[in-house]
């Protein structure tokens, strides 16, 4: 396996899908490669955490009520 360069579908930037990430995906049984760069994923996640659900939430344990 080798690092792969993918293109983010959100911002169009190229990002690296590293060997270890590929191994992680494989281990988890994910068939799709990541669609977004780290920055966009992070932004997405932050959005989700702010309670702005877009519909593809689902089983996400450990909700935080502070």
Query: Which residues lie near Zn ion (CB under 5 A)?
Result: 8, 10-11, 13, 37, 40
| Residue number with CB closer to Zn ion (14 or 31) | 14
Task: Quote the CA–CA distance of 6 and 17 in Å, as a whole number.
Answer: 7
Query: What is the smallest separation between the CB atom of 19 and Zn ion, expressed in angstroms?
Result: 21
Pick between residue 10 and residue 21 the one whose CB is nearest to Zn ion.
Answer: 10
Q: CB of 64: closest distance to Zn ion in angstroms?
A: 26
Q: Please list, in sequence order, all residues whose beta carbon lies within 8 angstroms of the beta carbon of residue 40, skipping any fewer than 6 positions away.
A: 8, 10, 11
Q: How far apart are the C-alpha atoms of 1 and 26, rounded to whole Å?
A: 12
């Amino acid at each position: 396996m080798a690092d792969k360069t993918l293109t983010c579908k959100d911002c169009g930037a190229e990002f690296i899908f590293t060997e270890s990430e590929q191994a992680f995906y494989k281990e988890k049984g994910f068939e799709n490669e990541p669609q977004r760069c780290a920055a966009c994923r992070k932004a997405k996640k932050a959005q989700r955490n702010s309670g702005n659900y877009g519909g593809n939430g689902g089983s996400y344990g450990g909700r935080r009520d502070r």
